[in-house]
Amino acid sequence: MTHALYVAAAYGLSALAIGGLVVWTLFDQRARKAELAVLEAQGVRRRSDAKTKDASS
């Protein structure tokens, strides 16, 4: 029972770190999607789009 506080703190800190990474990833995903939408609106296309169009022709 002497290590219970240490273990609880370690689990809590780990959960906080993982939660922070998840939130950061979601915000970053939203930002990248917004950047991609701007680029596509400007007419910039993905290189992979050309490959799939060539393969289907």
Structure tokens at 37: 């939408």
pLDDT top residue among 48 and 41: 41
> pLDDT tens digits for 9-46?
999 999 999 999 999 999 999 999 999 999 999 988 87
pLDDT at 49: 75
pLDDT at 47: 80
* DSSP SS3 for 42: coil
Task: Please state the pTM of the whole predicted model.
Answer: 0.66
How many separate helices (H) and strands (E) can be counted in the chain? 2, 0
Domain with 26 in it? 1-55
Give the pLDDT band (50/70/90) at residue 52. low
- Say which range, 1-10, 25-34, 45-54, has the weakest mean pLDDT: 45-54
- What is the tally of structural domains in the chain? 1
